[in-house]
Amino acid sequence: MLLLIRDKSGLAMLFIMPVVLIVISSLMQEFGWSSLTKDPSVQVLFVDNDHDSLGMKIKSGFKGSGAFEVVDSLNHKPLTSVMAINAVKKGDYLIAIVVPKGATSTMRANVRLSVAKTLAGFGLGNPMLVNGIIFRDSVDVTIYFDPTVKKTFKNALISSVRENYYKFQTDWVFKTFNQEIALQMPMYNPPKEAFKEVLRFKEEFPSYRKIELIRNATQHNVPAWTIFAMFFIVIPLTQSLIQEREGGSLFRLLTMPVPYMALLMGKVGVYLVVCLAQTIAMLLAGILLLPLFGLPMLVLGNDLPGLFVMTIVVAMASVGYGLMIGTIAKTHQQAASFGSISVIILAAMGGLWVPIYLMPPFMREVALFSPMNWAITGYYSIFLRGGSLWQIAPQAFKLFIFFLVTVSITGIYHKYKNPFNN
């Protein structure tokens, strides 16, 4: 423990780095998403060559969403397609939308023809005439993106444009039907209410308990970075093991009446305390520090015993992993590079940064073998689903087995590859 306390930079890495990561990630995620819902900070260049209903509808849809600031002129000049494309090309703007000339008239003509063809099927109108007419070619609403725009953001924007378009088209189809039927059947009395949406979309988060757990960046980031920080204990732990080996202290310890496994368990005990301290620091950061940055406060959930058990097994898994790497690695450099890179890979693979449902199918399968995935699944059970000991049991068990396996490998490796017996 004293060795660790004296290692100021190691301690800074274990405690300050993850707190900084929690704050930055939560800020980015929380205000990143908020910017799309509250603060219209993303500017969209809008070129309306249609000058008719469709162009206006798409534009008003963007303005109404509150997520974007619509820009239709640059340097006091009305925006043209060329100006918009150049502005995106130069990186001045992220997105430009160009609604082509004749977009509304094409839609109207095709909708009218579609309605006429449908009614002709019922014997209304002149089937011979309408069946001979062909649909106009589709027109392209072009969206220009800066190459740095993320795929998810791009998809969200395209969906928004499509939604506006389909809503407008549905209204137009309905209106055209009424007009055409009224033309064919003078007695027809069109309904006063044009259309009533059938489906409403309601968000609910099923949880194991009736508790108020708010899904936000804090609830996601604190457990994720806590796990990452705990696994980063690999670095000081491996350095301590190698320093002990190279400095001769291990030589002395092995000549003392203490079994090697007892020495390992001594390390486990010390580093478990450090991991618990890290977790407390991260949770306190979530509760006390994040609100100072305008972020939501961390809600611990209702199951503190579950949280404690989960923390213990995650800590055991990370310490076991560190012992294994520190024993197998031959040099400080090997341990530091392999240790840090493997932790980053396990974190990425385990869904700490990108949820596993966004990964390709193969990666989703692989993720299930990452101890960090077991850890984050367990923590999310507590922090987001209101889970208890029973719900985290499978993940806790896997992490405990991982600890036993890594410690066993350490013991076996030491026995057969004794560093002094070569």
Q: Which is nearer to other proteins, 7 or 171 (CB)?
A: 7
Among 9, 152, 189, 422, binds other proteins (CB under 8 A): 422
Q: Which long-range contacts (CB under 8 A, 24 or more apart) does 190-193 make?
A: none
Torsion angle, alpha carbons of 325, 327, 333, 335, to 10: 10
Q: The dihedral of CA 150, 151, 152, 153: what is its sign?
A: positive
Place of tokens 């396996």: 405
What number of chain residues touch other proteins (CB under 8 A)? 21
Smallest gap from residue 255 Cβ to other proteins (A)? 4
- Tokens of residue 173, six digits: 């189809």
Smallest gap from residue 236 Cβ to other proteins (A)? 12
Please give the C-alpha separations between residue 135 and each of 115, 131, 139, 222, in angstroms, as whole numbers.
12, 10, 12, 56
All residues at 6 or more sequence positions from 70 whose CB lies less than 8 Å from its CB, including other chains: 43, 44, 46, 59, 62, 63
How far, in whole angstroms, is CA 179 from its chain's centroid?
A: 47
All residues at 6 or more sequence positions from 60 whose CB lies less than 8 Å from its CB, including other chains: none
> Does 421 engage in binding with other proteins (CB under 8 A)?
yes
Smallest gap from residue 265 Cβ to other proteins (A)? 13
Smallest gap from residue 279 Cβ to other proteins (A)? 25
| Residues 42 and 70 sit within 8 Å (Cβ to Cβ) | no
Q: Which is nearer to other proteins, 13 or 21 (CB)?
A: 13
Q: Which is nearer to other proteins, 190 or 247 (CB)?
A: 247
Which range, of 76-84, 111-119, 139-147, 248-256, touches other proteins by CB under 8 A? 248-256
Smallest gap from residue 243 Cβ to other proteins (A)? 8
Rounded to a whole number of angstroms, the distance between the first and last alpha carbons of the chain is 30
Which range, of 11-19, 131-139, 241-249, 318-326, touches other proteins by CB under 8 A? 241-249
Among 51, 162, 252, 332, binds other proteins (CB under 8 A): 252
Q: Where are the beta strands (DSSP E) in 344-408?
A: none
Rule CB under 8 A: which of 68-87 touch other proteins?
Answer: none
97: how many CB neighbours lie within 10 A of its CB?
22
Among 64, 78, 190, 247, binds other proteins (CB under 8 A): 247
x/- string (CB under 8 A) for other proteins, residues 116-155? ----------------------------------------
Alpha-carbon span 300 to 295, nearest angstrom: 15
Among 135, 166, 251, 353, binds other proteins (CB under 8 A): 251
Smallest gap from residue 419 Cβ to other proteins (A)? 10
Among 6, 90, 196, 210, binds other proteins (CB under 8 A): 6
Rule CB under 8 A: which of 253-312 touch other proteins?
Answer: 253-259
Helices (H), 296-360: 304-328, 332-349
Smallest gap from residue 326 Cβ to other proteins (A)? 16
Q: Which is nearer to other proteins, 8 or 151 (CB)?
A: 8
DSSP 77: E
Smallest gap from residue 418 Cβ to other proteins (A)? 5
Smallest gap from residue 226 Cβ to other proteins (A)? 27
Alpha-carbon span 126 to 189, nearest angstrom: 22
- Tokens of residue 11, six digits: 């301690």
Q: What does the radius of gyration of the chain's CA atoms come to, in whole angstroms?
A: 31
Place of tokens 């093991």: 241
Q: What are the residues binding other proteins (CB under 8 A)? A: 2-3, 6-7, 244, 247-249, 251-259, 418, 420-422
